[in-house]
């Protein structure tokens, strides 16, 4: 028999009981759709993590205060005990040559007011390298100069969200605003960054020199001299990050006079290690989701095998008649195999359509990131064909091995 004859015969047989054919394909449809949706969500999540990595910087260390000791040996939380100093920042800069940029920072929240406009926002008191470490770019005006940092000048740089709230379309550079009760001059604005990896508005911020923050914005809090709440640094070569982390920890233990065996009064966070852990977790979840969807596809294939076996049993007399008029075992095997593959391929096409539509709907109406991948869609189509071939072979082989005489006698 020609291939066109086999295909036409298979289509005629499936159309004769179209409801059963449609229900048989349902397992493959659900399996293919599930594979596409779940893998798309997994890859979208991975892409979001990669975006987060680029935003945080894979060559960066963040140092924060650890738990210190108060009077009488009582433990105090990291939030209420300032263990890092500007001297630590200078020591890191001078004694660890692999460090490219390093800066200390203070932070807080306040009300900023201009004319009748006001906003409640966060501020950060920073040193010069802070802008390079966090990839902040000046959009209008200029950055702080050396005198601003040394003399605690009352100058401020606004993030895009704050600038837009206070000044609308105007840059605001040169205007005087009030932070709490203290007047500040706007010397520049920051280029927008948009939403961060955790959904926060990165532009809802303003920068002041570190000493200005200490004297003008935190003066009543009784900070220890030179205290900072955070130290951030970057290295020029990512390969040096682990080495630099060890050097920083050793240097700070020495400066803080921490004896061997005692707990550090600071925490060093290696962002690349955190990101690597999150990436591995996301990949594992993607594999798990893909495995669940693949199981659905296998169940659909078993359904095809089951129905094809039933079809062979129902059509024994037809098979015997075909063999009696000259059809060989190979012709019978190809016919039933074609029916199984048509069931699987039809389910695969519908599954791809539903899967793509489902992935787009998930991305539209939920917060889950979705990334459609043509390779995944092609793999799903190939998998549907392979499912029909694999699960249809046994029923086709069983049909081809029937004895024509016994088959004709069957009622």
Say if residue 406's pLDDT is above 70.
no
Percent of the chain with pLDDT over 90: 35
Backbone angles phi, psi at 302, to 5 degrees: -65, -35
For the segment 187-198, the average pLDDT, to the nearest whole number, is: 82
* Contact between residue 235 and residue 100 where contact means Cβ atoms under 8 Å apart: yes
pLDDT the model gives residue 99: 94
Cα dihedral sign, 86-87-88-89: positive
Residue 301 sits at the vertex; the CA angle it makes with 298 and 304, to the nearest 5 degrees, is 160
Helices (H), ranges, 114-256: 130-133, 146-151, 160-167, 210-212, 241-255
pLDDT in tens, 225-242: 888 999 999 998 878 888
For the segment 238-256, the average pLDDT, to the nearest whole number, is: 91
pLDDT in tens, 137-157: 999 999 999 999 988 899 999
Mean pLDDT score of the chain = 80
pTM: 0.58
Cα dihedral sign, 352-354-357-358: negative
d(CA 380, CA 35): 7
pLDDT the model gives residue 70: 45
For residue 76, what pLDDT band results from cuts at 50, 70 and 90? very low
User: Three-class SS of residue 104?
Assistant: strand
Say if residue 263's pLDDT is above 80.
yes
pLDDT the model gives residue 311: 72
pLDDT the model gives residue 195: 73
Tokens 């359509």 sit on residue: 353
pLDDT the model gives residue 326: 67
Structure tokens at 369: 């990131």
For the segment 301-315, the average pLDDT, to the nearest whole number, is: 73
């Amino acid at each position: 028999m020609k291939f066109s004859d086999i295909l036409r015969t298979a289509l005629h047989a499936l159309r004769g009981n179209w409801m059963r054919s449609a229900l048989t394909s349902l397992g493959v449809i659900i399996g293919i759709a599930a594979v596409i949706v779940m893998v798309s969500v997994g890859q979208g999540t991975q892409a979001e993590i990669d975006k987060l990595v680029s935003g945080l910087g894979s060559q960066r260390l963040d140092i924060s205060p650890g738990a210190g000791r108060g009077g009488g040996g009582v433990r105090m939380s990291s939030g209420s005990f300032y263990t890092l100093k500007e001297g630590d920042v200078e020591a890191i800069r001078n004694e660890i040559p692999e460090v490219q940029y390093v800066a200390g920072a203070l932070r807080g929240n306040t009300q900023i007011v201009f004319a009748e406009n006001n906003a409640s926002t966060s501020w950060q008191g920073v040193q010069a390298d802070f802008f390079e470490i966090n990839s902040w770019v000046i959009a209008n005006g200029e950055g702080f100069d050396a005198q601003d940092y040394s003399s605690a000048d009352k100058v401020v740089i606004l993030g895009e969200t704050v600038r837009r709230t206070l000044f609308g379309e105007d840059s605001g550079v040169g205007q005087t605003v009030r932070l709490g009760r203290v007047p500040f001059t706007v010397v520049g604005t920051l280029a927008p960054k948009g939403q961060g990896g955790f959904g926060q508005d990165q532009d809802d911020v303003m920068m002041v020199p570190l000493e200005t923050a200490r004297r003008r914005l935190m003066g009543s809090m009784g900070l220890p001299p030179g205290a900072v709440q955070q130290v951030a640094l970057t290295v020029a070569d990512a390969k040096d990050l682990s080495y630099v982390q060890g050097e920083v920890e050793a240097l700070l233990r020495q400066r803080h006079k921490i004896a061997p065996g005692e707990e550090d009064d600071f925490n060093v966070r290696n962002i690349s290690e955190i990101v690597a852990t999150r990436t591995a977790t996301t990949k594992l979840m993607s594999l798990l989701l893909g495995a669940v969807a693949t199981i659905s596809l296998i169940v659909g294939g078993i359904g095809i095998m089951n129905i094809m076996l039933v079809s062979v049993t129902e059509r024994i007399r037809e098979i015997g008649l075909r063999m009696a008029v000259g059809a060989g075992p190979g012709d019978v095997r190809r016919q039933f195999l074609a029916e199984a593959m048509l069931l699987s391929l039809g389910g695969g096409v519908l599954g791809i359509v539903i899967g793509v539509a489902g992935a787009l709907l998930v991305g539209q109406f939920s917060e889950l990131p979705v990334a459609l991948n043509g390779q995944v869609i092609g793999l799903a189509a190939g998998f549907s064909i392979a499912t029909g071939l694999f699960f249809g072979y046994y029923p086709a082989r069983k049909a081809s091995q029937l004895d024509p005489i016994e088959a004709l006698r069957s009622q």
